[in-house]
Amino acid sequence: MSLRLSIRKKPQVNLRGSRLYDAQDRVSRSARRAAQQMGPTSRQARKMAADGVTTARGWSAPRIDQAGEYIEHEVGPRVSELLHRTAERVEPRRSQRRRRGFAAMLLLIGGALGATGAIATRRNAARAATEPTPSPPADHLSSVSRDSSTEGTHTP
């Protein structure tokens, strides 16, 4: 842009007394008159809209409640059952080898404990057969029989 164009004087519009000022004034007066005429109508429309909203809420509330009951008692259990079945399908199956290994381990442990018990029983039986049974001392028996007699007791 040249320097000459930027210095150029721009035309000025005189708003006072011009047709633009008159038109603006007429539009402003018309808008005020329309607002005064539409005021009661807009209040009435606002009241009708509020009544309509209240009526709609009264109509829709029982239906929303009914939908909630249906979802809770009908759809919810079905969805829950569907999710459980899906989880069972998705879960990887346990291999039979692990179960067999666990059962085999239990059998081996049970067999080892049984064999250990049998060996211990045989050893105890063999020791008992080879060793003579000690007889209790005679004075011990006589002292027991004396203590257990009821001759010396007094009954009131």
Say whether pLDDT at 142 is over 70.
no
How much is the pLDDT for 97? 62
For residues 3 and 129, the model is more confident at: 129
How much is the pLDDT for 50? 93
Over its C-alpha atoms, the chain yields an Rg (Å, rounded) of: 55
Say whether pLDDT at 110 is over 80.
yes
How many other C-beta atoms are found inside a 10 Å radius of the C-beta of residue 114? 10
Q: How far is CA 17 from CA 29, 30, 32, 97, 121, in A?
A: 17, 20, 22, 105, 133
Q: How far is CA 45 from CA 33, 36, 89, in A?
A: 19, 15, 60
Say whether pLDDT at 46 is over 80.
yes
Say whether pLDDT at 24 is over 80.
yes
Say whether pLDDT at 4 is over 90.
no
- Cα dihedral across residues 140, 145, 148, 150: positive or negative: negative
Say whether pLDDT at 16 is over 60.
no
pLDDT one-digit tens code per residue, 27-40: 999 998 888 888 88
Average pLDDT over residues 146-152: 54
pLDDT one-digit tens code per residue, 58-87: 999 999 999 999 999 999 999 999 989 999
Q: Quote the pTM value.
A: 0.34
For residues 31 and 127, the model is more confident at: 31
pLDDT band of residue 14 (cuts 50, 70, 90) is low
Q: Which two tokens stand for residue 18?
A: 């011009």
